[in-house]
């Protein structure tokens, strides 16, 4: 997945200084969306939850439900 598309899944990154722990985790997840989705896709495959193009959709569903 391309970084721009992955970043849109989680939201845009705030430009203000991050001090709140919730904002820190959101910033971290936004900055690391691509590797996070890659890891989730590998678990989806390993668990046999989806195959082919459905793997990416399943990984996005996991991210959206968190």
Domain assignment present for residue 16? The answer is: no
Domain assignment present for residue 51? The answer is: yes
How many domains in the chain? 1
DSSP one-letter string for 21-63: HHHHHHHHHHHTHHHHHHHHHHHHHHHTS--TTHHHHHHHHHH
Sequence-separated contacts (24+) of 18-25 with Cβ below 8 Å: none
Domain assignment present for residue 26? The answer is: yes
**What do you get for the CA distance between the two ends of the chain, in Å?**
19
- For residue 58, the enclosing domain spans 3-7+21-65
The pTM assigned to this predicted structure is 0.64
The token duo for 8 is 């849109």
- Give 4-36 pLDDT, tens digit per residue: 555 555 554 544 555 899 999 999 989 999 999
């Amino acid at each position: 997945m391309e970084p721009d598309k992955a970043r849109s899944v989680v939201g845009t990154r705030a430009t203000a200084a991050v001090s709140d722990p919730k904002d820190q985790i959101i910033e971290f997840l936004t900055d690391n969306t691509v590797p996070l989705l890659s890891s989730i896709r590998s678990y989806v495959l390993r668990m046999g939850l989806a195959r082919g193009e459905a793997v990416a959709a399943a990984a996005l569903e996991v991210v959206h439900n968190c």
